[in-house]
Chains A and B, each alone.
Chain A
Amino acid sequence: MTENSVPVLSVQNLRVSFDTQDGTVHAVDGVSFDAYAGETICIVGESGSGKSVMASSIMRLNNSSTATTEGRILVKGLDVLSASEEEVRGIRGSEVAMIFQDPMSALNPYFTVGKQIAEAYVVHHPGASKHEIHDVVLAMMIKVGIPSPEKRIDEYPHQFSGGMRQRIVIAIALINNPKILIADEPTTALDVTVQAQILDLMMSLQKEFGMTIILITHDLGVVAEVAQDVIVMYAGHIVEQSHVDALFHAPTHPYSWGLLGSVASYGDNKRGGLLTISGSPPSLISLPVGCSFHPRCAHSKGEGSVCMTDSPSLRSVGSDGSRSACHLADDVLVSVGRRGFRS
């Protein structure tokens, strides 16, 4: 992260809420971060913590009739949230591209994969000749590792395996050479051996195209493997943002600490007794007052303490450049220590 360069993406105080029958769901509640050229940021957090909603806001993909979005999202100087529909369409697929979780449902079942890749190219290259389009699509299919692309270009999505479909989705995402690639759990639905192939592919393409990757995942192993920066989300907030080494060795938020400790790690000996985070995530309709993690937090100082009255803001802590939204972050750092969260 080079502090003085201009970020390719800047999310500033983003809030997204949904009107539902039960009340207003505050899915994303004041999130800010910057992403720089060529880096990989992983976003982790419990299911429902707002990762996907946040990511889709970057391309303004949230359902506009029930969602209320506030804040600023700057891509190439354009504020995505206040731009016109035509302006947003201009960056979708060309500046920012997206990969979704389920490759089985992400492709249009009624058209050949070749046509779907071509479609993404043609919207942003209106004058392209048939010949040129065909060549570009074929080249992209080769790049993402589809065997015998000349034959497969005319096949339909259901004729491809999950891993191959995800490669097609990646081809669609990268065909316009975007600056930012948002991948929302791109390998969750895939087998480990295929996951390894897809992650390798994404990383090598990142080297080639120099794009910024924002990768949402549940798998801390994936984070350890690919991330430079990690954002930990809890109940619509960023609770920690750290360099990957710092996060794994000295997490600065009790939630991160619990998350890392609860993972059955491959290298662990049998029956270590996993750490758990007690309780369950709060309702996003009425968040707890103070720190939204306090009901489950082992460090919370109890009744009347700052944890239960004030909402902590994200601030720099420690010497690793980490940012934490915990009132007691410095205490946590001390009590956890290096690697201390592993039992």
Chain B
Amino acid sequence: MFLFVVRRLFFAVVLLLAVSVFTYLLFALLPTDPAALTCGIHCKPETVLANRIRLGYDKPVLEQYWQFLRGIFVGRDYGLGQTAFSCPAPSLGYSFNQHACVTSLIGETFPVTAFLAIGAFILWMIIGIGVGAIAALNKGKWQDRFATGFAAVGVSLPTFYIGLLVLFSVVIWFQILPFPSYESPLDNFSAFITAMILPWLVLAVLSAASYTRLTRNGMLEAMNEDFVRLGVAKGLRLRVILLRYVMRQALIPIVTIAGLDFAGLLGGAIITESVFSLPGMGRMSIRAVVDSDLPVLVGTTMVAAVFIVAANVIVDIAYGFLDPRVRVSS
């Protein structure tokens, strides 16, 4: 098990390095000149040149990449003399559009994304697994048909469309809630909840659909297992069998997918954040695309990659804990 974890971690680091090289080179090779974007339309060539040197865009791509990589660990200084400034480690670069270090931009937007992700995730696991379990226990009855329908519809509905629909109906037509305007939960908790409740629900209900399907099918499959029959033959109570035998088995694939989905969300729920105007990382990435703000794009991509790779490692290790067959090799 120990060797297994070490090997997984080793590959995770290699993978992250590969992602960083790839992302960095991809953006570096784009035809846009990042330095040209550092000042307005009426820009003097000297300013562009100066900025290019200050940001290091005059160096060969590989060296730029090296600087970037170094910055992550030791921080990075830009320019000389009066105009010099620095982004402390872990530095992911400097955004000239927003005149700020990418790391601090991410630091501002990430909490919003994290709150959105955590809330929605909890809700969707409860809805998804709950509805799936009810469907499995009532196979063939109306509850099952309802859940199967819910899953089929939920999987195919676009978040964008449903998000707007909900926003319009709840906020504009029925005026049940005020227009969402994000506040930090530390400053104003009720405003925070008011702003988050719709995005949580929309994200949760739509994502829950595939979990409903997974739970239902996983449980039905497990109920046909010999060991579940042996559990019944022992005289165990239904509740015990469902929890210890059926759910235990059905949850394993769910954990895998949930881990990856959650990590994906942490990288920025682009559409949901945009529809509900939440100042999260996803919305920032979209704006960065529109503004060709390459440092921010590289930064958010890297952060998303870290989450996804980390989730993979955690899921693999969790798998070992959930399934003794993986953990204990005889």
Contacts and interface: CB of A to CB of B under 8 A. Distances in A.
- Do A and B touch, yes or no (CB under 8 Å, in the complex)? yes
Nearest to B328: A156
Contacts of B230: 98, 100, 106-108, 169, 172
Interface in A155-171: 155-156, 158-159, 169
Contact of B234 (A105, A123, A156, A158): A123
B155 to A, nearest CB: 26
B140 A65 contact: yes
Interface in A109-129: 109-111, 119-120, 123-124
B330 A158 contact: yes
Contacts of A107: 227, 230
A139 interface: no
Interface string A156-193: 10110000000001001000000000000000000000
A19 to B, nearest CB: 11
28 contacts: A89-B237, A92-B232, A92-B235, A93-B233, A98-B230, A98-B233, A100-B226, A100-B230, A106-B226, A106-B230, A108-B231, A108-B244, A108-B245, A109-B323, A109-B325, A110-B244, A110-B248, A110-B323, A111-B244, A120-B235, A123-B234, A123-B237, A155-B330, A156-B324, A156-B328, A158-B325, A159-B330, A169-B230
Contacts of A321: none
A94 interface: yes
Given A109-B323, A158-B330, A102 B235 contact: no
Nearest to A98: B233
A123 B235 contact: yes
B236 interface: yes
Contacts of A102: 226
Interface in A84-100: 89-94, 97-98, 100
A108 B235 contact: no
Nearest to B248: A110
Contact of B324 (A61, A90, A97, A109): A109
A97 B237 CA distance: 16
Given A108-B244, A123-B234, 12 more contacts: A56-B229, A59-B233, A90-B235, A93-B235, A105-B226, A106-B230, A107-B230, A108-B245, A110-B249, A110-B323, A120-B234, A158-B328
Interface string B58-99: 000000000000000000000000000000000000000000
Interface of B: 139-140, 225-227, 229-237, 244-245, 248-249, 322-325, 328, 330
A111 B248 CA distance: 10
A94 B234 CA distance: 8
A97 B236 CA distance: 12
Interface residues of A, number: 31
B269 to A, nearest CB: 33
Query: Mostly helix, strand, loop or mixed at chain B's interface?
Result: helix
A105 B225 contact: yes
B227 A61 contact: no
Contacts of A89: 235, 237
Contacts of A94: 235
Given A109-B325, A110-B249, A93 B234 contact: yes
Contacts of B322: 110
A108 B241 CA distance: 11
Contact of A65 (B139, B227, B248, B323): B139
Contacts of A56: 229
Contacts of A159: 328, 330
A20 to B, nearest CB: 13
Of listed A91, A110, A156, A169, residue having the most chain B CB within 10 A: A110
A94 B248 CA distance: 25
Contacts of A90: 235
A143 B75 CA distance: 68
A146 B226 CA distance: 22
Interface in A247-288: none
A227 B166 CA distance: 70
A319 B230 CA distance: 41
A92 B233 contact: yes
A116 to B, nearest CB: 8
Contacts of B325: 109, 156, 158
Contacts of A169: 230
Contacts of A109: 227, 323-325
A278 to B, nearest CB: 34
Interface in A43-80: 56, 59, 61, 65
A58 to B, nearest CB: 10
Contacts of A119: 234, 236
Contacts of A155: 328, 330
Nearest to B141: A65
B227 to A, nearest CB: 5
A27 to B, nearest CB: 16
